[in-house]
Amino acid sequence: MPPLPPLVSTDADSVEAALLAGAHACASAACRTHSFESIHAPGILIATGDLHDNPLHLAKLLHAAHLTEDGSQHPAGAPRHLILHEIIHGDRLLNGMDLSYRVLARVARLKAIYPEHVHVLLGNHELAQMLKSGILKDGVKSVDAFNAGLEYVFGGEFDRIDRAIVAFVRAMPLALRAHTPRGDILCAHSLPPAASMGRFDTSILSRELTDDDYVPRQGSAHLMVWGRGYDAEGLEDLVERWGAYLFILGHEKAPEGVKFVPPNAVVLNSDHERGVCLPIDLSAPPAADEAADLVQPLMTMACPT
């Protein structure tokens, strides 16, 4: 891929180019198979939870992954892989407008520069933005605030930028599968709850996504990224169907940054002051019930100067 020009967040051509390059990278990366991406040991996986437009935490995560936004640095030694999801709809509003399209464009550009190292997973807020469906976060109508930000910055270019955002979101995989000596780790924004399993297509990770998968409250992609309330029985069922020994997820609130859901799911938050990430050595991954103990608070992590 030819080098991308610098991202200028108020220039429609620049933002559109970054978003479309990210969409192309999601769809064509060598690690992409059907609706998921896969990586293998050796390597370091830096798993995260919801980001919600937290620029400081994004900078710290990139530093930990040995990545730079201009592509001038690549991971030395064992490959490093960074998961990002639930990127938009933060709480830093400007006169009621959400300008988190800026971080979405930055992440899209990162995916284009590092297609095998940055893994951008579909989250429910990105899907809601793509579908223009109502979503309320901390009393804010997130999609409306995001659209107001696009209108303010781009005016008559709104539709062009919106189409590029839709293209990027539609290209995002549902999950990352990490193959390790202990077994597979499956990272996703969430999992379908027990109440939805009767209408959830568990073969979704072994096929391409279709328009039907995104239909609210019916499609399997929608059910998966909006899922809450999964239980031990449901997790064990997905272990059998998907062959993963550990699930690393986001979506649910974890006030301390991490929550373990027995027998084998770890929920991470990376957006608030107690946000964390979970570095995993893919050659020697932890047991499912030990993984939550390995999280690193983002508050204490180094930030590039």
Question: Domain segments of the chain: what residues?
Answer: 12-299
Q: Which residue has the tokens 């620049």?
A: 14
Instruction: Note the pTM of the prediction, 2 decimals.
Output: 0.96
Q: Each residue of 12-36: pLDDT tens digit?
A: 999 999 999 999 999 999 999 999 9
Question: 31 near 177, Cβ under 8 Å?
Answer: no
The DSSP-derived string for 227-275 is -----HHHHHHHHHHH-EEEEEE-SS--TTSEEEETTTEEEEB-SSTT-
**pLDDT band (50, 70, 90) for residue 276:** very high
What per-residue confidence (pLDDT) applies to 136?
83
What per-residue confidence (pLDDT) applies to 222?
97
Question: 200 near 192, Cβ under 8 Å?
Answer: yes
Residue 1 has pLDDT above 80, yes or no: no
**pLDDT band (50, 70, 90) for residue 203:** very high
Instruction: Provide mean pLDDT across the span 206-223.
Output: 97
List all residues 6 or more positions away from 116 whose beta carbon is below 8 Å from its beta carbon. Answer: 29, 30, 31, 39, 79
Q: Each residue of 251-263: pLDDT tens digit?
A: 999 999 999 999 9
Tokens describing residue 100: 């988190």
As a dihedral over the C-alpha atoms of residue 85, residue 20, residue 71, residue 33, rounded to 10 degrees, the angle is 60
32-33 and 36-40 strand pairing = antiparallel
Residue type, 80: R
Tokens describing residue 43: 């390597």
List all residues 6 or more positions away from 106 whose beta carbon is below 8 Å from its beta carbon. Answer: 7, 18, 58, 69
Domain covering 12-299, topology: Purple Acid Phosphatase; chain A, domain 2 (3.60.21)
**Cα–Cα–Cα angle for 254, 258, 262, rounded to 5 degrees:** 100
What per-residue confidence (pLDDT) applies to 149?
98
What per-residue confidence (pLDDT) applies to 137?
82
What per-residue confidence (pLDDT) applies to 86?
98
Residue 48 has pLDDT above 90, yes or no: yes
**pLDDT band (50, 70, 90) for residue 76:** low
Instruction: Provide mean pLDDT across the span 53-60.
Output: 96
Question: 84 near 118, Cβ under 8 Å?
Answer: yes
Q: Which residue has the tokens 């169907």?
A: 241
Beta strand residue intervals within the chain, DSSP E:
32-33, 36-40, 44-48, 80-85, 118-121, 136-137, 140-141, 175-180, 183-188, 244-249, 258-261, 265-268, 276-281, 296-297
User: Nearest to residue 189, comparing CAs of 65, 87, 109?
Assistant: 87
**pLDDT band (50, 70, 90) for residue 140:** confident
